[in-house]
Amino acid sequence: MSSLLPRRDFLATGLGIGASSLALRSLLAEDAGSLPPGGSHFAPTAKRVIFLFMSGGPSQVDTFDPKPELAKLAGHDVPESLAQHVPKIKRAGLSNLMASPWEFRKHGQSGIPVSSLLPETAKHVDDLCIIRSMQHRNPVHGPGECVALTGTGAGDRPSIGAWSIYGLGSETENLPAFITMNLHSDGMQFPQAAGWSAGFLPPQYQGTVVDPEKGIRDVALPKGITEAQRRKQLGEIDWFNRRHLSRLGEHPELEARIRSYEMAFRLQTAAPELFDLSGESESTKAMYGLETSPTKQSGRGCLLARRMIERGVRYVQLRIGGWDAHGNIRGNHERMFGITDKPIAALLTDLKQRGLFDSTLVVWAGEFGRTPTMEGKANGRDHSPAGYSVWMAGGGVKGGQIIGQTDPIGYVAIERPVSPHDFHATILHSLGLDANRLTYRHHGRDEVPTVFGGKAVTEVFG
């Protein structure tokens, strides 16, 4: 990256479409704090990230954090010895503890217990590093999702995906470096756009939202327009934009618009191929569950995630909504894992088969977990950010291990608590980025990804 043209040199000479490709690489790599040549602070363990975000909050005590004590205390209040440690937040109910409806069994050589809800993911338990002690204090979906993906409940800062791209730049010129897909919207809320926004970073670092079924919108050439005509048209638009930019001086929004025109042209060639699954084998489609309900949509999203990183997309975020189980947690979680378990396990298998697993960090997480108590008489669980589970795999992760612990009923993290800021620092660490040295000058301050402090959980990597 040290050989790339500085911004001012490029703008003084680059007036053509051909030069825009160089501008894209240069602008993606600049201003990333103290990054040395090569684009990282230290040797990375991963080159790219697939973030599987389960919006709504999967229950930790019904998935990866078994609590036999709940069966003994079912129907009773939270014991006083534990209640005093439960955070005083509105959602923290202290009455009517509820046992998990599912059985936990040990799997793999590691013997890690996994709920019967996840029979396919359980086969990969030796590849998973499960963090059982995630913790924050925001129990509301929208702000909680912002905390989980940006670090603050206001959602006014860059997403972790945007910081990742800002630090490392793009591996491809033909597709966006950061792509997000939203699946299975539950109708309760609109997808939280802050989760893929650039915040105060320049606009080119925001995620590009695509529809797994329809692909990238408006990517086809207009009828009657040839590729040569389109390139000539874009060249003229580029000339006018750059003339305007030379008068304005540095202007991130206009610079992003200039790059978007060139990216749009390249997408018209690359995107149709990306979303065309006809070249995938029937066995691969079957593995992801593309041909059957209920796995069809999530299976397509997971397969596209593999195809994206295979083609140089640096950061893929797959948001799957519907996990909010206030009533009938049995029905909700059986439906949601019926949708996701097979496709996610297939993604891990496919990455291995194609030699991509060791260089791709796969993350599974929601915005919070759920209470060990029953909500009212609805056989559901309320929101609980005080102690919940996530997992990481691939990308240098030491699998078959558990980090952290919650109390005997799964309410509060009591050993090795991990904040969302620590979690973000860990993702960046896998990419060779030090969250405390990755800076961006904003309003006279050197901003870092983990604004309230955050330290990488290096045990994840062994």
How confident is the model at residue 90, as a pLDDT?
79
- Which pLDDT score is estimated for 184? 84
Phi and psi angles of residue 63, each rounded to the nearest 5 degrees, phi first: -130, -70
Give dist(CA 228, CA 151) in Å, integer: 45
pLDDT at 389: 98
For residue 5, name the pLDDT band (cuts at 50, 70, 90).
Answer: very low
274 within some domain: no
Residue 264 binned pLDDT confidence (cut-offs 50, 70, 90)? low
> Which residues, other chains included, contact 369 with Cβ-Cβ below 8 Å and sequence gap of 6+?
57, 58, 59, 60, 61, 134, 384, 385, 387, 388, 389, 410
Into how many domains does the chain fold? 1
Q: What is the pLDDT of residues 348-399, one digit of tens each?
A: 999 999 999 999 999 999 999 999 999 988 999 999 999 999 999 999 999 9
What is the pLDDT, as a whole number, of residue 189? 59
Pairing of strands 208-210, 315-321: unpaired
pLDDT for 13 equals 32
Residue range(s) defining the domain that contains residue 66: 44-199+207-231+279-461
pLDDT of residue 414: 97
On the question of pLDDT at 255 being above 90, the answer is no
Q: What number is the average pLDDT over the span 272-286? A: 95
Q: Would you say residue 91 lies in a domain? A: yes
Domain presence at residue 378: yes
Residue 107 tokens, joined: 């799997």
Q: What is the pLDDT of residue 38?
A: 54
Tens-place pLDDT, residues 134-183 = 999 999 999 999 999 999 999 899 999 999 999 998 898 889 999 999 99
Q: Give me the pLDDT at residue 20, please.
A: 34
Q: Check residue 85 and give its pLDDT.
A: 86
What's the pLDDT at 2? 35
Residue 237 lies in a domain: no
What is the predicted pLDDT for the residue at 233?
78
Cα–Cα dist 159/153, whole Å: 12
Residue 156 has, within 13 A of its CA and on its CB side, a CA count of 3
Report which of 99, 95, 128, 91 is spatially closest to residue 111, judged by C-alpha positions: 128
258 domain-assigned: no
Taking residues 216-234, what's their average pLDDT? 76
pLDDT at 83 over 70: yes
Stretch 436-453: mean pLDDT, rounded? 93
Greater confidence (241 vs 219) lies with: 241
Residue 23 domain flag = no
CA 82 centroid distance within chain: 33
Average pLDDT over residues 245-258: 78
Confidence of residue 6 (pLDDT cuts 50, 70, 90): very low
pLDDT for the residue numbered 35:
65
pLDDT, tens digit, for every residue of 43-68?
999 999 999 999 999 999 999 999 99
For 75-126, the DSSP string reads TSPPPHHHHTTS---TT---S-B---SS-EEEETTTTEEEETT-TTGGGGGG
pLDDT, mean of residues 288-305: 96
Length of the chain: 462
pLDDT computed for residue 418 by the predictor: 98
Residue 219 has pLDDT above 80, yes or no: no
CATH number of the CATH domain containing 81: 3.40.720
How confident is the model over 314-337, as pLDDT tens digits? 999 999 999 999 999 999 999 999
Task: Tell me which DSSP letter residue 192 carries.
Answer: -
Q: Is residue 238 part of a domain?
A: no
In the chain, the largest separation of any two C-alpha atoms, in whole Å, equals 74
The highest-confidence range among 19-33, 179-193, 265-279, 379-393, by mean pLDDT, is 379-393
What are the tokens at 337? Answer: 């894992």
Burial 106-124 (b: 16+ CB within 10 A, else e): ebbebebbbbebbebbbeb
Q: Does residue 15 register a pLDDT over 50?
A: no
Residue 74 domain flag? yes
When mean pLDDT is compared across 145-159, 192-206, 229-243, the lowest value belongs to 229-243
- Summarize the confidence of residues 1-12 as an average pLDDT: 34
Q: Residue 240 pLDDT more than 90? A: no
